[in-house]
Structure 1
């Protein structure tokens, strides 16, 4: 396996489930490169005897070269997530984690768990993991134990049943697998909102949010009553400034109910997208440039956790000056 794979402009890669028996050489090279060489993990700690019976996933670029790996043991313990440096922040870790969570759900595990390096805690928080206990040292690296409860399989809802979902009533989750799924889920959820929309989107995601139906849904929510509020948090306004965006124009017209802020430098590492509607409905994608995501119309517990993250980011943010100038 070559470790010199560089991401191309479209950053294409795929995730495969593999076994230790048929992919040991590739998995070893990746983990030796990332953990033993980069992070100075002692070999006797890295090779713990769990690999032969664990579930492994392997990420490959468009030329078939290995770029990342992760594993999950039979009790739902996720770990050994390694991504080549050139491919970090391109969604590889998110897709591998999602693949393992999907397998855990299929096995009807009640929860998954992991020991995150403290520098990666925010990444796992964005995937709905919750810290448990105190920070501890492993291989001379600080770690945080984290868990995520999993809904049972009978709570999965087919995307075809999206029109039947009622905000604040329907329990279950919908897997979003493409652009159209994301557009329709956002429209259907926001159209039912009456109090609040909190949206984090790095670049206002025009392919998802710059359409008449979504803008009409946002407008309806924003003017529902005097206390209705729409908060939109972005990282980069350049695309909206260069090409325009319907939601910017709507914010200009309903400026007392719709607010667009730019995230603080502290939050610039976020690559995900998420929204919370009326503090109960959530839609989230682990990577803004990809359309694999999840929609839940009635999950107040997870909505509260996601809203806590949003509010902390909002407190650090500032009104976006470039968009204010665009309004004039």
Structure 2
């Protein structure tokens, strides 16, 4: 597949591109969103994609400001965390990072689906474009380092 850049403006388009990113990932998924409220982490389709990814040995890293939505509305994700906790790490941002409002998912350091602001659906998906991800990868690493432990398989607190 050649490099593909696809702008989007709707929830359906975001969900479609996120599903594509998840399905293409084999080694790493790095995600950041303020609360994951529109990511459908509790859906059966997302659960199946993440289970396939994790069953193959992939590693999942999530960072959020707040995990209440995941705790309340994504029981499948909580079960996934119980089943694959050794391959999933979830962190919560500290107070200094709470002003961050973008949202993105990076798959295998070659694909990204990003919304420019978490309150809106406008964004872009880039597939097979590792050269386009450098800034986002550095941003994720900075967020990751500056964040603390979050949700665990046996307790809440994302």
TM-score above 0.5, yes or no: yes
Whole-Å separation in 2 of the counterparts to 1:286 and 1:210: 23
Q: Where do 1:1-328 residues align within 5 Å?
A: 169-225=1-57, 228-320=58-150, 324-326=154-156
Q: CA shift at 1:223, angstroms?
A: 2.2
Quick one: distance in 1 between partners of 2:148 and 2:128? 30
Deviation at 1:297, TM superposition (A): 0.5
CA shift for structure 1 position 180: 1.1
Distance 1:250 1:322, change over 3 A: closer
Residue pair 1:241, 1:322 contacting (<8 A) in 2 also: no
Secondary structure at the counterpart of residue 284 of structure 1: strand
Gaps of 5+ in 1: 1-168
Distance 1:202 1:243 in 2: 15
Deviations along 1:48-91, whole A, 9 cap, x unmatched? Answer: xxxxxxxxxxxxxxxxxxxxxxxxxxxxxxxxxxxxxxxxxxxx
How much does 1:249 deviate? 2.4
CA contact (8 A) 1:182 1:208 kept: no
The residue aligned with 1:58 is: none
The 8 Å contact of residues 42 and 74 in structure 2, kept in 1 or not, is answered as: no
Q: Per the alignment, do residues 316 and 324 of structure 1 end up closer, same or farther by CA in structure 2, a change over 3 Å counting?
A: farther
SS at match of 1:312: helix
**Distance (Å, rounded) in 1 between the aligned partners of 2:117 and 2:38:** 15
Are residues 222 and 326 of structure 1, via their aligned partners in 2, closer, same or farther at CA, if it must alter by over 3 Å?
Answer: same
Return the offset for 1:321. Answer: 5.2
- Give the number of the structure with larger relative contact order, counting CA–CA contacts within 8 Å between residues 6 or more apart: 2
Give the drift of 1:210.
Answer: 3.1
> SS of the counterpart of 2:109?
coil
Contact 1:179 1:208 in 2 (8 A): no
Tell me the TM-score normalized by structure 2: 0.88
- Quote the Cα distance in structure 1 between the aligned partners of 2:36 and 2:75: 8
Structure 2: distance between partners of 1:188 and 1:321 = 25
Structure 1 runs (4+) greater than 6 angstroms displaced: none
- Give the superposition deviation at 1:244: 3.8
1:324 & 1:260 partners in 2: Cα distance? 13
Which whole-Å CA distance do the structure 2 matches of 1:193 and 1:172 have between them? 16
Q: Which protein is bigger by CA-based radius of gyration?
A: 1
